[in-house]
Copies of this chain bind each other. A is one copy, B any other.
Amino acid sequence: MSDMTEATPTPRRGRPAVTSQARILAAARRIIDREGWRRLTLRRLAAELGVGTTTLYHHVRDREDLLIQLLNEDAAQSLAEVELPENPRERIITAMVAVHDALAETPWAAEVLTVDGFLPRLGEPALRVVEAVLSAAVELGRTQEQAVDLFRTAWYLTVGELLVRARSGELSQDAERRADWARGTFADPRMPQLAAIGARWPELAARDTFRVGLAALVDGMLPGSSRETAR
């Protein structure tokens, strides 16, 4: 029980196991595929496996742990395949975009994204990406502190984008209703810019600008290595 993230238990003594980490994760995935991740509860999962609910607590720490383990299978794998460029600036951007994209694929990522020490719990491939960012910053002459600051700020941006997007993606009202809403709420004449944008807001806000924003952040934090100098 020391490392819940490891998926290879070696039972030896006592009552034979009726289930296992692997079977639990497989069953969880079936429920997610069939009914959506919101329906994945420990009770439902136990029913799917035909075991008592409380049995699950011998294999997963809690619901959060289960969700992170599920994420591991997808995200860690896709992160491990990322090729990181030599150029430090590009390396940082590639690394963080990879983290972003890996997590964006999994709809329940938003549920566990903000747990303390989340990225390390995703295992070695995730740490490799953090290392890439830190080493690139140090290569560009930053201190250890500054390297950590850069990573953390980029991580906050990533988390924020993912969470806001996860929520707005859920309730997908039609474009016209959203435009009407924006026209109405931004119609204050004391706010000329908002009023000028008006109904266009939902359309503009729907654009994916993560990479551009991240690149700007990196350039702002590493003034030495702007696009121009890097090439």
Contact = CB atoms under 8 A, between A and B. Distances in A.
Interface string A178-194: 00010001101011111
Nearest to A112: B167
Contact of A205 (B148, B219, B220): B148
Q: How large is the interface on A (under 10, 10 to 19, 20 to 34, 35 or more residues)?
A: 35 or more
A49 to B, nearest CB: 30
B221 A114 contact: no
Given A120-B185, A188-B124, A209-B149, A114 B163 contact: yes
Contact of A156 (B116, B157, B167): B157
A114 B181 CA distance: 18
Contacts of A215: 220
A32 to B, nearest CB: 21
A204 B148 CA distance: 7
Nearest to A200: B144
A145 B188 contact: no
Interface of A: 110, 113-117, 120, 124, 127-128, 130-131, 134-135, 138, 144-145, 147-149, 152-153, 155-161, 163-164, 166-168, 171, 181, 185-186, 188, 190-194, 196-197, 200-201, 204-205, 207, 209, 212-213, 215-221, 223
